[in-house]
Amino acid sequence: MTVVQTENLNILAIDHMPSPEEIKACVPLDDAIAATVVAGRKAFIDILDRRDPRLFVVVGPCSIHDPQAGLDYAHRLAALAEKVKGSLLLAMRVYFEKPRTATGWKGYINDPYMNDSFRVDEGMEKARHFLREVARVGLPIATEALDPIAPQYYGDLISWTAIGARTSESQTHREMASGLSTPVGFKNTTDGDVSAAVNAIVSAANPHSFLGVNGQGQSAIVRTRGNRYGHLVLRGGERPNYDSVSVSLAEEALAKARLPGNIVIDCSHGNSWKKPEMQPLVMKDVIHQIRDGNRSIVGLMIESNLVAGNQPIPADLGQLRYGCSVTDACVGWDTTVEMICGADAVLRDALPRRSAAA
């Protein structure tokens, strides 16, 4: 008797993927790198708990596609971080997974060779190598958690995690966030609504049990204790929402949900109408809000690269411009320095007053 096939009708192949333990064994941590990760997490938590009056700034390329340029950026950022450490905690934005509205390059892990070969196994190992080298420079690392399995492979190298505008409403991502070892910023949805992100913070703060994988790559029931360091990221929507009125409304939404009033402003995306040249204006406005007495804003996000703008992925990858984004357009390095040093100059005087008001 012939049994009608009812599964895998649209699956072309299921290829072997090394387990998280196998990838970690190929790219292990050492004590110095682990210390950087732990120190970064503690610094974020101290800011969220108001033990540290500084702001954190998640800054870096929209996505990583060239590890050499990425490490060049990391070394420059580490030097800048040392210069402004009295007022700002700088963390490098390292995004490997790119959610696509329709189609397009899905990121370094999914397609590391940018040729539709989709060597996820090699991409994961290469990504872990890159993270390890950034941590070796001494920088805390921030990323976006998109695939719910990926944190098992490199979560031990991350100090701060974002849940994106398209996934803050996802139960899967709320459950995942409840078990992450880092503070987690939930972005408002693409239309600008903050209620989904607020609900996500509440959900992730509670224990969950869900299907996942263990270190051996086997299916497992993951049981979490909940993550109490969820916070809100305002990234704009149908209009920007970094202004003082929008921030006040977000504060009210958090207070109504009995959540800490911790808000991060993303200077890019909807807040800059996806025009990188607008990011410095957004940041200047936010820093002035802090100078004028705002205490809920604890961090900022900037999309920045060595070279301003972005570029399409050419058929001949040798034609790629070094240090220029292949996804969202970014501000260039010189503008990045101006933005961060300008914020530092203002905050040096404002932070003591902010601390005294705690």
Q: Sorting pLDDT into bands at 50, 70 and 90, what band is 356?
A: low
d(CA 49, CA 228): 11
Average confidence (pLDDT) over 56-80: 98
Per-residue model confidence (pLDDT) at position 2: 80
- First CA to last CA across the chain, in angstroms? 75
Q: Is residue 251 part of a domain?
A: yes
Q: Please check the confidence at residue 196 and state whether its pLDDT lies above 70.
A: yes
> What are 266's two structure tokens?
């993303």
Whole-number average pLDDT of the chain: 96
* Number of domains comprising the chain: 1
Residue 173 is assigned to a structural domain of this protein? yes
How confident is the model over 219-271, as pLDDT tens digits? Answer: 999 999 999 999 999 999 999 999 999 999 999 999 999 999 999 999 999 99
Residue 358 inside a domain? The answer is no
Of 246, 284, 281, which is closest to residue 263 (Cα–Cα)? 246
- The reply to whether 310 falls in a domain is yes
Residue 13 lies in a domain: no
pLDDT band of 3, cuts 50, 70, 90: confident
> Considering the domain boundaries, does residue 15 fall inside one?
no
111: pLDDT confidence band, cut at 50, 70 and 90?
very high
Which structural domain range is residue 334 located in? 20-353
pLDDT value for 284: 98
pTM (whole model) above 0.95: yes
* Cα 43 to Cα 258: distance, rounded to the nearest angstrom: 24
DSSP string, 299-356: EEEEEB-SSSBB----SSGGGPPTT-BSSS-BB-HHHHHHHHHHHHHHHHHHHHHHHH
> What are the tens digits of pLDDT across the range 122-139?
999 999 999 999 999 999
Over residues 67-89, mean pLDDT: 98
Query: Could you tell me the CATH number of the domain that includes residue 339?
Result: 3.20.20.70
What single-letter DSSP state applies at residue 104? S
Three-class secondary structure of residue 219 per DSSP: strand
What's the rounded Cα separation, in Å, for the pair 125 and 148? Answer: 17
> In the predicted model, what is the mean pLDDT of residues 186-207?
98
Say yes or no to pLDDT of 102 above 60.
no
Residue 14 is assigned to a structural domain of this protein: no
Amino acid 352: pLDDT: 83
Q: For residue 1, is it within any domain?
A: no
pLDDT band at 98; cut points 50, 70, 90: confident
% residues pLDDT > 90 (the chain):
94
Residue 358, pLDDT above cutoff 80: no
pLDDT at res. 104 = 84
Is the pLDDT at 160 greater than 90? The verdict is yes
